[in-house]
Amino acid sequence: MPPLRVVVPAGGIGAARFLTGLLPALAVTAPGSHVTVIGNTADDITMFGLRVSPDLDTVMYTLGGGIHPEQGWGRADETFVVKDELAAYGVQPQWFGLGDRDLATHVARTSMLGAGYPLSEVTATLGSRWLPANVGLLPMTDDRVETHVVVDDGPSTRAIHFQEWWVRHRAALPARRIVLLGVEQARPAPGVLDAIGEADVVLLAPSNPVVSLGPILSVPGLRDAVRAARAPVVGVSPIVAGRPVRGMADACLRAIGVPTTAAAVAGLFADILDGWLVDSSDEAAVEEVASLGVACRARPLLMSDVTATAAIASAALDLALAAGA
């Protein structure tokens, strides 16, 4: 097969793992292919004055072999000297566990942002240390978009940053609403719309549909570009047998009143999808998804190792090429 230009809207851990399978799958079936990852930046947070981009970093570290293998986020061989020192100063918050290696990325990022470089250029610079030559990593936007979660506060409610809800409260506070601050004013980062327009295949990574893929597709113009793209668009369900493969997507889906099922999540993206992969255990969902006008196949979706993950990516590519034919 000739080389493909593949675009992958991507959240953090799940997407990063998917990419570790996509790259070998492409190397086998379409050598010379190029992957543009469009990363979610709505989880980004300024912590201790440092700009943290968790999803971009997870993709970068994972593809560059720097990721903490068991955790799936943060750096391998991490130390926590700075975190302990900040705690000794009483600096708040203390629930955000920044490792020293990871922190260096944020220091470098913050320093470059402070010098006036947009996030997309900063990400390219940081990525040059980690990313394979055939992978580009673009933030969805250079503008500030932040996911906030509206939670109960006595008889009233209050909005907290997504990271506070996710990391500090482990998504255990019921989310009444999820708000994307700043998204209306955001513009796609340079290169994003071009990559989508020129893509041969668009693959939605198995990411949180509400707080990862949701924000990416909410950047004005981005969802329209995907819908209008000549490339087939195929997604991999992040929900298997009624539960998120990883993370707490169920808590997010509940907040927007969507059932935690592979078919319901397909419904969120039906307007842009040509195909959708569900897990073998969700075989029953295939027909329901097809009724949305989305070609659907059931395959084992557990990304247990690179081989299994490459098979999933391969199945997604097959479905895309079938749907695009």
Give the residues lining the site for its own copies (CB under 8 A): 48-50, 79, 81-86, 88-91, 100-101, 103-105, 107-108, 110-111, 114, 125-126, 129
* Residues whose CB is less than 8 angstroms from the CB of residue 196 and which lie 6 or more positions away in sequence, other chains included: 7, 38, 202, 222, 225, 226, 229, 231
Cβ proximity to its own copies: between 49 and 69 the closer is 49
Least Cβ distance, residue 128 to its own copies (angstroms): 8
Least Cβ distance, residue 66 to its own copies (angstroms): 10
Cβ proximity to its own copies: between 88 and 325 the closer is 88
Cβ proximity to its own copies: between 61 and 269 the closer is 61
Least Cβ distance, residue 61 to its own copies (angstroms): 12
Residue 267, number of CB atoms within 10 A of its CB: 20
- Whether a cis peptide bond, with omega within 30° of 0, leads into 93 is yes
Least Cβ distance, residue 99 to its own copies (angstroms): 9
Which of 289, 286, 143 has the alpha carbon at shortest distance from 218? 143
Least Cβ distance, residue 46 to its own copies (angstroms): 9
Which of 211, 288, 205 has the alpha carbon at shortest distance from 254? 211
**Alpha-carbon gap, residue 227 to 273, rounded angstroms:** 8
Q: Would you state the structure tokens that stand for residue 120, as one six-digit string?
A: 């997309």
The answer to whether the beta carbons of residues 191 and 138 sit under 8 Å apart is: yes
Cβ proximity to its own copies: between 51 and 148 the closer is 51
H, E, C per residue of 238-301: CEECCEECCCCHHHHHHHCCCCCCHHHHHHHCCCCCCEEEEEHHHCCHHHHHHCCCCEEEEECC
Which of 162, 150, 141 has the alpha carbon at shortest distance from 47? 162
Least Cβ distance, residue 73 to its own copies (angstroms): 16
**Alpha-carbon gap, residue 221 to 203, rounded angstroms:** 18
**Alpha-carbon gap, residue 307 to 24, rounded angstroms:** 9
Least Cβ distance, residue 165 to its own copies (angstroms): 22
Cβ proximity to its own copies: between 96 and 197 the closer is 96
What are the strands of the beta sheet with 201-204, ordered from one edge?
135-139, 34-39, 5-10, 201-204, 233-236, 275-279, 295-299
The answer to whether the beta carbons of residues 109 and 100 sit under 8 Å apart is: no
Cβ proximity to its own copies: between 82 and 311 the closer is 82
**Alpha-carbon gap, residue 274 to 322, rounded angstroms:** 10
Cβ proximity to its own copies: between 63 and 266 the closer is 63
Cβ proximity to its own copies: between 124 and 322 the closer is 124
Cβ proximity to its own copies: between 101 and 168 the closer is 101
